[in-house]
Structure 1
Amino acid sequence: MGEAIAAYLHYLSIFLLFALLSIEHVQFKLPLDVARARRLVMIDIAYGISAGLVLATGAVRVIWFGKGASYYLSNSLFHAKVGLFVLVALLSILPTFVFLNWRNALKAGQAPSISPRQAKLVLMTIRLELLVLLFIPLLATLMARGYGVIG
């Protein structure tokens, strides 16, 4: 039963992560108003929390459930999957940094200013995050079927 609950929570956190990033993508457009900027900040915070949940539930599955830690740690696709997750985390630094810089304007009740160039960079980064995230389930599917075992 514990294995099923851990898997369910892992999948749920992955769906939440992807949904929040998709919402962030749709909401991020110029010109920004105060309400949308506040929503983007809150969505980004929730996105970060969901990424932590994905990592935590994934670790629980690796350590206590599934095929055992030795299987995962000796699987090249697992390493690639974790590497892609880390890449997404690194990419997410840019939008988060931009959103956090809006705090002073939002505290003053003003819409944050962002240049069209910076907005395009943030939007392209979010799109790249979404694209990279699409490959993680493929690697997980291949790994679950025995591919990627080293040795």
Structure 2
Amino acid sequence: MLIAALIAGLHYLGIMTLAATLLLELVTLRGQITREAIERLARTDLMYGMAAILVLATGLLRLTEAYGRGPAFYMHNGVFHLKVTLFVLVGIISIAPTMRFLRWRRTMLKDNTLPDAGAVAGTRKLVMAELHILFLIPFLAALMVRI
């Protein structure tokens, strides 16, 4: 029982970390992008990736009878499927910003070039989309256990 609570707590912590890292990326992408901002984006995005792995791993553990309600509860719940679909969608959207942050860092280190305002604005829109979708997931989780 204690391990199940620990796994649930880590799951929630991972979700909060996802939101926090996306918010930090969003704030960093405002205005002028500097060398320090690109380094911060790369570090923050790495933390985002680790948090996503934590959420996925603990979520899979919570699907089991040992640490959650068991597969029968989740597999027949349409809200659960919507929640997972949105999580996957956030993950798919996150690929583009991650690739851009890595490319920006590589280019900056190679020839000291910073991204243009259009690329930054486009990336900020993607991060904003991720954040908006992510914010729906806890509401779906609350709804999921009540239907």
- TM-score normalised by L of structure 2: 0.92
- Residue 16 of structure 2 is matched in structure 1 by 15
- Residue 133 of structure 1 is matched in structure 2 by 134
Task: Give the deviation of 1:73 after TM superposition.
Answer: 1.1
Determine helix, strand or coil for the equivalent of 1:32.
Answer: coil
Corresponding pairs, count? 145
Question: Could you tell me which of 72, 85, 88 is aligned with 2:87?
Answer: 85
- Residue 57 of structure 1 is matched in structure 2 by 58
Distance 1:133 1:75, change over 3 A: same
Q: Deviations over 1:30-52 (max 9, x none)?
A: 42211111011110111011111
In 2, Cα distance between equivalents of 1:114 and 1:34? 10
In 2, Cα distance between equivalents of 1:18 and 1:109? 33
In 2, Cα distance between equivalents of 1:124 and 1:40? 15
Task: Give the deviation of 1:106 after TM superposition.
Answer: 3.7
Letter of the structure 2 residue corresponding to residue 45 of structure 1: L
In 2, Cα distance between equivalents of 1:99 and 1:51? 17
For structure 2, list consecutive stretches of 5 or more residues without a partner in the other structure: none
Q: Please, which moves more after superposition, 134-143 or 99-108?
A: 99-108
In 2, Cα distance between equivalents of 1:72 and 1:22? 30
Contact between 2:11 and 2:59, CA under 8 Å: does it hold in 1?
yes
Letter of the structure 2 residue corresponding to residue 86 of structure 1: V
- Residue 124 of structure 1 is matched in structure 2 by 125
In 1, Cα distance between equivalents of 2:50 and 2:91? 12
For structure 1, list consecutive stretches of 5 or more residues without a partner in the other structure: none
Distance 1:117 1:107, change over 3 A: closer
Letter of the structure 2 residue corresponding to residue 61 of structure 1: R
Letter of the structure 1 residue corresponding to residue 61 of structure 2: V
Percent of counterpart pairs with the same letter?
39
